[in-house]
A and B are shown apart, each in its own frame.
Chain A
Amino acid sequence: MIKKTRQHISQNESLLFEISSPGKMGYQLPELDVPMMDPAEALGGNTRAEIEDFPEVSEVELIRHFTRLSTWNYAIDLGLYPLGSCTMKYNPRINEVVARTEGLAWAHPYQPESLSQGAMEIMAELERCLAVITGMDAVTLQPAAGAHGEMTGTLLIRALLTSRGNPRKKILVPDSAHGTNPATAAMTGYEVENIKSNEQGMLDVEALARAMNEDVAALMVTNPNTVGVFEQYIHKIAAIMHDKGALVYMDGANMNALVGIARPGDFGIDVMHLNLHKTFSTPHGGGGPGAGAVAIKKELEPFLPGPRLRRENNQWHWDYDRPRSIGRVRSFYGNFGVLVRALAYIMAHGGEGLKNATMDAVLNANYIRKLIEPYYKIAYQAPSMHECVFSDDYQSKKGVRTGDIAKRLIDYGFHPYTVSFPLIVHGALMIEPTETEPKQELDLFADAMISIAREIEENPAIVLNAPHLTRTPRVDEVTAARKPILRWKKPAESQVRAKPGDLRPDVPAREPALPASVR
């Protein structure tokens, strides 16, 4: 039974370009206090008369447009968002407020150091906190996102190994890894060798030992890994790598399972990234921005991207004199606005609070696992950390796959879990509730999952054709890929009237075609 949702009116809305009419505007610039410059005179012939087909709307049309579109989205603010590996926790609003503090939001990266001390202090304090949390020796805040951090970390590894005489050729990547890992290795000039996981969902230590030789630069490991299982033999794994002169990189995507409980620096990790937009609560915003701080052991420090913060005479300075650096990975110093939010989160929690958050995250994941395990096949028996991974083995016998269950979950008022990842699990359902979900929401979710399992037994068609209650039913991704339309184009005059699928307000709303059972 669907408990969390019911249908309600949803506004139609056309594209900005379709609601535009010539001459409308929603801005007012101040009167120029200097003589107006003629563009043609200033720029020669190099000018344009206008930006063709650019929108022209009034302020109220603008706010309605974007507000209507916003109601077509699901969001954490509306409920559980259990995307495994994505750590969709609540985004505290205090973070948004402090990031907009004028002296921080309007600080120019090239303003004098003497007038940047507050911003630099924030970065220094965040670096310190992240080093404490990871048990590492130093942190760079420059990378813009997790994958960018991976690239930075891999370049650091390459630089260190090169300084020891041989950059080596290969990076080992478990078959359960995020796609960014092999993609990053390739961008930094390494070959990728996949290492199999064992029947417990952990890295196969013997396979790793067999694959290990002097050509291997590093292992990229995620811990807990993408099936939510802690790599029990991480010390042994690190020793295998270190014995042959290789390094261990940790993808910190799942750090929400470890903060305050275990520190990568203590279990043999040489370099890792943190996704500040996951573990440290900065909002995902429909796909970004994030920040991908990289934490390292001392021996990698000389190679960090410049500039680095340096304290001298009670003042912060940017040190550009980094002769052994791998170079910049982006302009300026990093996604500072995201860093401010992450520090605010850390301050709000304090050391103990951070550890409590971790314990609650693991509690919530295990609670969900326990409730739905009778109905879905757990991928691995090993204990779960902050997320639990099931396979659709029971349901696929009825012809229902993980993607279908996900779509049906939408009708129940939830964003789906991560679908079909990790690749090593057949038909994976990867569920990460995070610590910020109350018990009521978890119970509703478990109820929904159980109810869907029953529907699959009794009437799989209702799941196979889901979602039924969304304003948009399933979309045709095949045609989108075969005949890509990636931008709006002004229709030819003759076609303006007959354009199909146009949501003009004078078109009556379509009666939703619902099966009787879900009305």
Chain B
Amino acid sequence: MSTYPENFRYTKEHEWVRVDGDTGTVGITWHAQNELGDIVYVDLPKVGAHVAERGSLGSVESVKAVSDIYSPVSGEIVEINDELTTAPEKLNHDPHGEAWLVKIKLAAPDEIKSLLSAADYQSYIGAE
């Protein structure tokens, strides 16, 4: 099990976002990687691409499943975590830290208000 950081906001599709200034760092939750099992491949968007709220951020794959990643926020992709393309297993080990997926320059910072808090997310996955 893992703890869910208080300073993150979460989606029901198991993504998280952490806001620093005008940038949001996005990843998938411990719960998501645990459900998928051994992650073998991560497909990420290109830097400079614009993504809508709920828009596609690519996908993560295990041996026998694919899970689409949806962006919790809208904005421009300013950085991607290239290391995951060669070491996708990091997502299994540290999904809330080292294995973040992308950084997005927020177009509408207010969007995060509608996302779940750590407590809400945990009770959501508990109930799922």
List residues of chain B with CB under 8 Å of any chain A CB. Answer: 38, 40-41, 61, 63-64, 88-89
What CA separation (Å) do A478 and B41 show in the bound complex?
Answer: 10
What CA separation (Å) do A477 and B41 show in the bound complex?
Answer: 13
What's the A-B contact tally at a CB cutoff of 8 Å? 13
Other 11 A-B pairs with CB < 8 A, given A477-B63, A482-B41? A420-B64, A478-B38, A478-B40, A478-B63, A481-B40, A481-B41, A481-B61, A481-B63, A482-B40, A482-B88, A482-B89
What CA separation (Å) do A477 and B89 show in the bound complex?
Answer: 14
Considering the complex, give the chain B residue whose CB is closest to the CB of A419: B64
- Could you give 13 example pairs across A and B, Cβ below 8 Å? A420-B64, A477-B63, A478-B38, A478-B40, A478-B63, A481-B40, A481-B41, A481-B61, A481-B63, A482-B40, A482-B41, A482-B88, A482-B89
Considering the complex, give the chain A residue whose CB is closest to the CB of B63: A477
B9: min CB distance to chain A, Å: 30
Interface centre among B61, B63, B88 (most CB of A within 10 A): B63
Considering the complex, give the chain A residue whose CB is closest to the CB of B40: A481
Majority DSSP secondary structure for residues of B touching A: loop
CB-defined contacts of B61 to chain A, threshold 8 Å: 481
What CA separation (Å) do A482 and B40 show in the bound complex?
Answer: 5
What CA separation (Å) do A420 and B63 show in the bound complex?
Answer: 14
Query: Which A residues from 418 to 444 make CB contacts under 8 A with B?
Result: 420
CB-defined contacts of A481 to chain B, threshold 8 Å: 40-41, 61, 63
What CA separation (Å) do A477 and B61 show in the bound complex?
Answer: 13
Query: Which A residues from 470 to 499 make CB contacts under 8 A with B?
Result: 477-478, 481-482
CB-defined contacts of B89 to chain A, threshold 8 Å: 482
B96: min CB distance to chain A, Å: 21
A441: min CB distance to chain B, Å: 30
What CA separation (Å) do A481 and B63 show in the bound complex?
Answer: 7
What CA separation (Å) do A87 and B64 show in the bound complex?
Answer: 23
CB-defined contacts of B40 to chain A, threshold 8 Å: 478, 481-482
What CA separation (Å) do A478 and B61 show in the bound complex?
Answer: 11
What CA separation (Å) do A477 and B38 show in the bound complex?
Answer: 10
B77: min CB distance to chain A, Å: 24
CB-defined contacts of B88 to chain A, threshold 8 Å: 482
What CA separation (Å) do A477 and B63 show in the bound complex?
Answer: 7
What CA separation (Å) do A478 and B37 show in the bound complex?
Answer: 10
CB-defined contacts of A482 to chain B, threshold 8 Å: 40-41, 88-89
B29: min CB distance to chain A, Å: 21
CB-defined contacts of A477 to chain B, threshold 8 Å: 63
What CA separation (Å) do A477 and B64 show in the bound complex?
Answer: 10
What CA separation (Å) do A338 and B89 show in the bound complex?
Answer: 44
What CA separation (Å) do A495 and B38 show in the bound complex?
Answer: 30
A481: min CB distance to chain B, Å: 4
What CA separation (Å) do A183 and B67 show in the bound complex?
Answer: 17
A290: min CB distance to chain B, Å: 23
B74: min CB distance to chain A, Å: 24
